Homo-oligomer: A and B are copies of this chain.
Amino acid sequence: MAEKFVYFFGNGHAEGSKEMRNLLGGKGANLHEMTSLGIPVPPGFTITTEACVYYFKTGNIPEGLKDEVENNIKRLEEITGKKFGDNKNPLLVSVRSGARVSMPGMMDTILNLGLTDDSVKGLAKQTNNERFALDAYRRFIQMFSETVKGIKHVHFEEILDTIKKNAGVKNDSELNAEHLQTLIKEYKTIYKENTNEDFPQDPWKQLWDAILAVFNSWNSDRAITYRKINKIPDDWGTAVNVVAMVFGNMGEDSGTGVAFSRDPLTGENKFYGEFLPNAQGEDVVAGIRTPHALNEYSKQEKNRDLPTLEETMPDIYKELYDIAKKLERHYRDMQDIEFTIERKKLYLLQTRNGKRTARAMVKIAVNMAEEGLISKEDALMRVDASRINELLHPIFDPKAEKHVIAKGLGASPGAAHGKVIFDPEEAAELGYKGESVILVREETSPDDIKGMAKSKGVLTSRGGMTSHAAVVARGMGKPAVVGAEDIEVDYEKEEFRVHGLTVKKGDYISIDGKSGEVMLGKVKTIDPEIFEEFGKLLDWADEIRWIGVRANAETPEDAKKAREFGAEGIGLARTEHMFFKGERIYAMQEMILANTKEEREKALSKLLPMQREDFKELFKVMDGYPVIIRLLDPPLHEFVPKKDEQIKELSKRTGVSEEKIREMAESLREANPMLGHRGCRLAITYPEIAEMQVRAIIEAAIEAKKEGIKVKPEIMVPIVSLKTEIDVMKDLIDKVAHKVMEEKGEEVDYKVGTMIELPRAALLADEIAKTAEFFSFGTNDLTQTTFGFSRDDVGRFVPKYIENGLLKDDPFSVLDQDGVGQLVKIGVEKGKSTRPELEVGICGEHGGEPKSVKFCHRIGLDYVSCSPYRVPIARVAAAQAVIEEKRKRRR
């Protein structure tokens, strides 16, 4: 252990630097760094994380720390010319925690430490403002009591209210010195009642109590939970920063503010920020006065007429601007700066990389790379891939007013508003006429697809991140909020009720598919634009990444969109979606109602030409790229109508009695359809369906080939758990394919592979790879079976699990690398052990989620496949995975 526990900074010299983040914490390291850079920072010192760790291990502060702190306070006194606890010119300090990473639940800030009955007089003299000094003192007592001693806020509020009432005033600022004296007395009484001791009049006791309180806040319940979830080691500990106070409220030549080295909203390379004259940080937070813009560029509606800092203090503005630019160059990122001006002297209190909008994130990263400030790789790493979403969908105007009435899961990002419609048919009809519709359902089923397609957005009161509504909406790039459980949908009355409010059919609502918010009325949206820097970023990503990116798509429109977004093929075409288009569902229903193989084949023969056309279109759009077509997956009951009206119609159309149709529906009913008669199980018991589909695929491929298209069909068998299943299916596919090729006199290369979406398939991948020529990990279903979570039912507990820290992420959004990922890894290893050239990819929803994409890269998948709108995300994440790996190896 180091012998030194305290690092000083001040007067242009610092004992620490930005590299010492582990020892000094993030905040501390930056204060040291700024000091060394010659930037005006109030002097102070940092107590190291090692001191904190020692304290946890032994229960005592390390030997020597006491002396070090005392010596450093002396150094502060020397530099500032003030004296700790002095009744003439007192040294006041702030005490703040500062871990390696910012962490909620940790103690934040105590200001004005050092104030006592004595020194408050000094402060009054120093500032020439008794009221100000007394106000600072009563605030300090409260802050110290609450933060250091854990005394409840409400005690202080009650007293304050009583005194304001007695004084006949409304605002704290109207209290005069006398009131404040009373308040200080009462506050001290509260302190004594709760701690059994007097409020400390020794600034040293205040200081040590505060330091230990910062240490102990590392072990608050909230901090521990946060660390557990975020896998932050418990033994890092926190540093403590003790900094001399400066005051922005010493008159009109003082002030405090926040500045950004570039515009955090647009990413423009323009200095941006605001400030409040004659104020402390607290006042900015309180929001009583309107802050002024730093410069013309930063002006908003609210402060259009207020003078800018550039106008009122041009020298200070220039100094601040130069510092911001210097810090940006130094940290090589856009900086978010806190500053205070005390009597025309500028002090920097903090700098850190600034938060920004998704657009600014991309623009700044790319611009900085172009300016030579960072490398292309750095630019890519700067981008939070998961936020790219925001660039591909309309968003709500951040300035618009919102009346949020419910909150669900943001299942498919984007902003939409429209009339509430409950019936999918009606939604389809109105949508077709060009009306904006939000389809509201308890949950959706394949029957509703047409209605969803013609709606602006979808809202459901049930289901999770991979419920039918969520998956289909994402596939369509359509905003969806799902599982808004507070909403009670009443189909009969055509209304929904939520928290006492009733929303009727035809009323307007708005939904935010990212935040999950449901709002009343039409909230204004703004359209996205594909801007220059975004395109560049994606090109850079493609240069770097190894793993391929394909799209999940079955319509030509989706396939085209996917190509636009850079997809290199189709990883999953869900043929069943094609069965819902127009009249096709009728043929499907006839097939199901058929009694014999012959009748089934007859019905299927109606579907054959339609499927062939679908596939041909896909091959054309994907000319030269592979197209993976999955054979029918869902159980048959999904195609059978449940509603009386639909049954009546089907009966009329087919001549089959309604009773028979109901019986059929009943006989197809399953206790757990997810684990039922579907996928290849259906194909094995009713081979006619698969035979028709294979015929359609091969015929389409031959036709396309004859038209000069380069076709690469890959036929995928779903829900395999046994090697014998893929054996039987490969036989069937090869037989039909060869028959068609013979008929047509034209050869076509195709592959036969399987989804790996059940644990058993992953565990026996070596066996299955003897027959399968490619694997596609269906991580949606694999997640369901590995966890035993039904994606349609987890809404009842997964959100609570996440809230309580049992789960970090929804495993249907972010691949569970520990469990499901283990199976994927086993599947890849075993599969390649049998067939080294095996093509392996992923086509679950995770294929467009950055962390999951990186995992897929690391375990050696050949490609990820996701909905077209997530292709750009995957491209960036895939590049980041390569850079991360490279940097890890070099380290």
Residues of A within 8 A of B (CB): 670-677, 681, 684-685, 719, 721-722, 724-725, 728, 757-760, 763-764, 767, 781, 784-790, 792-794, 796-797, 800-801, 804-807, 816, 818-820, 822-823
Contacts and interface: CB of A to CB of B under 8 A. Distances in A.
Which among A684, A793, A805, A818 has the highest number of chain B CB atoms within 10 Å?
A793
A675 B784 contact: yes
A801 B724 CA distance: 9
B787 A758 contact: yes
What are the 10 A-B residue pairs with the smallest beta carbon separation, nearest first? A675-B790, A672-B790, A671-B792, A760-B819, A676-B793, A724-B806, A759-B759, A758-B788, A677-B796, A672-B674
B677 A820 contact: no
30 contacts: A670-B792, A671-B674, A671-B792, A671-B793, A672-B790, A673-B793, A675-B675, A675-B784, A675-B785, A676-B790, A677-B797, A684-B801, A684-B804, A719-B788, A721-B787, A721-B789, A721-B819, A722-B807, A758-B786, A758-B788, A759-B759, A759-B788, A759-B823, A760-B787, A760-B819, A763-B818, A763-B822, A764-B818, A764-B819, A785-B788
A757 B672 CA distance: 17
A851 to B, nearest CB: 18
A115 to B, nearest CB: 43
A800 B685 contact: yes
A807 B670 CA distance: 22
Given A674-B788, A728-B804, 16 more contacts: A671-B673, A672-B675, A672-B793, A675-B788, A676-B790, A676-B794, A685-B800, A719-B788, A721-B819, A724-B801, A724-B806, A760-B786, A760-B788, A760-B816, A767-B818, A785-B788
Given A684-B797, A684-B806, A763-B819, A788 B671 contact: no
Given A807-B724, A818-B764, A675 B758 contact: no
A725 B798 CA distance: 12
A447 to B, nearest CB: 15
Contact of A796 (B685, B724, B789, B818): B685
A763 B788 contact: no
B759 A806 contact: no
A134 B681 CA distance: 54
The interface centre, meaning the residue of A758, A759, A805 with most chain B CB atoms within 10 A of its CB, is: A759
A445 to B, nearest CB: 10
Contact of A793 (B677, B784, B819): B677
Given A719-B788, A759-B759, A806-B724, A800 B671 contact: no
B806 A785 contact: no
**Number of chain copies forming the complex:** 2
A496 to B, nearest CB: 15
B672 A673 contact: yes
Nearest to A789: B675
Contacts of A724: 801, 805-807
Nearest to A666: B442
A771 B704 CA distance: 60
A807 B722 CA distance: 8
A264 to B, nearest CB: 36
A685 B799 CA distance: 11
A722 B684 CA distance: 35
Q: Which of A671, A677, A764, A767 has the most chain B CB within a 10 Å cutoff?
A: A671
A222 B792 CA distance: 44
Interface centre among A676, A719, A816 (most CB of B within 10 A): A676
A827 to B, nearest CB: 12
Nearest to A808: B724
A676 B719 CA distance: 20
A479 to B, nearest CB: 23
Contact of A788 (B767, B781, B816, B818): B781
Nearest to A675: B790
Given A685-B800, A806-B722, A670 B793 contact: yes
A15 to B, nearest CB: 42
A796 B676 contact: yes
Given A722-B807, A787-B721, A800 B684 contact: yes
Contacts of A789: 675, 721
Nearest to A762: B759
A492 to B, nearest CB: 13
Given A675-B789, A676-B793, A797-B684, A725 B819 contact: no
Nearest to A443: B671
B797 A685 contact: yes
A806 B728 CA distance: 8
A285 to B, nearest CB: 36
A792 B725 CA distance: 21
Contacts of A685: 796-797, 800
A757 B788 CA distance: 9
Contacts of A757: 788
A755 to B, nearest CB: 11
A818 B816 CA distance: 24
Nearest to A727: B806
Contacts of A677: 793, 796-797
Most buried by B among A672, A764, A794, A797: A672
A673 to B, nearest CB: 7
A786 B763 contact: yes
A765 to B, nearest CB: 11
B675 A674 contact: yes
B675 A793 contact: yes
Nearest to A760: B819
B673 A820 contact: no
